[in-house]
Amino acid sequence: MSSRSKSVFSVKNLVKDFPTTGGIRALNDVSFELFAGEALAIVGESGSGKSTIARVLSLLHAKSSGDVLYKDTEISGFSGSEIKHYRQQVQMIFQDPYGSLNPVHTIFHHLARPLKIHKKVNNKKELTEKVHALLEQVGLVPAAETAKKHPFELSGGQRQRVCIAKTLAIGADVVLADEPTSALDVSIRLGILNLMEQMKKERDVAFMYITHDLATARYFAERTAVMYVGHMVEWGVTEDIIQAPKHPYTQLLISAVPDPLKRKEKEAKPLNQKNKDIPIWTSYSKGCPFVGRCAEVMDKCSQSMPAITKISEKHFVRCFLYGNS
């Protein structure tokens, strides 16, 4: 699977500090790869740094250290025109489809703009045809009618489809999807996921699927990385992570997922965590970030971040409970 696919992104030991009071380390030692035609789900709570990864990758934030290689080229050294080209290839879909479209412009304007800026069309007629074709591709029919509408006339799911059409417009080969479905309805959500699945299969688009919904991660993403306070604590093939979670945090996450079947077991078990205070990570912090909440904490956990333990060929965890140490 992944071994045969082409790696499009290679992120190594990425660190991102925000120079706020006290200095926040939003990402610490994050490494992963994205492959063409495959989705990597980044799962974690609010504030775990999921969105920061997407922002660093899309050059909205400059990284503090580490390597971010897009097709073997470091992205931080890009010149103006290289950035423009890069942004064609790497597109983002945001969580809030209500906020990511300009309310005073028509849908046509939203789709025409990237086409014009990146000179994908030669004349007006071609532009109209292309916009309509895009709308049809994402299931917004009749296209001519939709194109005339303003964002407020569309539902959340339809707006998200417009955002996806924007990424299709300029032929992105990497899509950083930041919670693309969390604001949408269930049946609509599946429509969006299936649409992205189609892009993945037919156009070989690489997806970074940022989510807190493990069930959709299981449905859509081949691999999953679990983030906690800027650290990757567990990663590997999605099915392994969900069926046999190793890190106490992953176990906590999975036990928190609502499941109607739990109702049958009478009382659902309380969450296995000590307290719910999420630490603020700085460049001076040390140890495992999960120490405060971990039910299986040991002395050494607050001393240093555990090394990577390989559970199986495609399943890794950073926790002292595993490995030979």
Partner 1 sequence: MIENANQQAEPLLNIRGLSVEYLVGDTRLRAVDRVSFTINKGETVGLAGESGCGKSTLAFALAKLHKPPALIAEGEVLYKGQDVLAFNDEELRRFRWKETSVVFQSAMNCLNPVISINEQVCDVLSAHNPTMNRNELQDRAGELLKIVGIHPDRLNQYPHQFSGGMRQRAVLAISLALKPQLIIMDEPTTALDVVVEREIMDQLSELKEQFGFSILLISHDLSLMGEITDRIAVMYAGKLVEIAPTEDVLFKPQHPYTKGLINSFPHLFGEKKELTGIPGNPLSLYSPPAGCYFEERCSERIHRCKSVDPKLVTLHTGHKVKCHLFSQS
206: part of which helix (H) or strand (E)? strand 206-211
Closest distance between partner 1 and the C-beta of residue 285, in Å?
A: 17
The residue among 46 and 324 lying less far from partner 1, judged by its C-beta, is: 46
Least separation, in Å, of the C-beta of 276 and partner 1? Answer: 5
Minimum CB separation of residue 307 from partner 1 in Å reads 26
Select the span of 26-34, 57-65, 123-131, 175-183 touching partner 1 (CB under 8 A).
175-183
d(CA 77, CA 85): 13
CB of 71 to partner 1, least distance (A): 31
Q: Is 141 exposed, middle or buried (0-12, 13-18, 19+ CB in 10 A)?
A: exposed
- Round to whole Å and give the CA distance between 179 and 42: 10
Cβ neighbours of residue 253 closer than 8 Å, sequence gap 6 or more:
43, 45, 214, 226, 245
Q: Is 223 in the site for partner 1 (CB under 8 A)?
A: no
> Can you tell me whether residue 102 is helix, strand or coil?
coil
Of the candidate residues 3, 21, 46, 122, the single one contacting partner 1 (CB under 8 A): 46
Footprint (CB under 8 A) of partner 1, residues 249-308: 252-254, 256-263, 268, 270-271, 276-277
Choosing from 166, 189, 223, 246, the residue that interacts with partner 1 (CB under 8 A) is: 189
215 binds partner 1 per the rule CB under 8 A: yes
- Asked if 146 is part of the footprint of partner 1 (rule: CB under 8 A), the reply reads no
230 lines the binding site for partner 1 (CB under 8 A): no
Q: Helix, strand, or coil here: 224?
A: strand
CB contact at 8 A, 42 and 50: yes
Secondary structure letter of residue 265 according to DSSP: G
* 2: Cα within 13 Å, side-chain hemisphere: 20
Q: Does residue 313 belong to the site contacting partner 1 (CB under 8 A)? A: no
Q: Which residues pair with 87 in a beta bridge?
A: none
Q: Rule CB under 8 A: which residues touch partner 1?
A: 44-47, 95, 98, 155-157, 179, 182-191, 194, 212-216, 218-219, 239, 242-243, 252-254, 256-263, 268, 270-271, 276-277
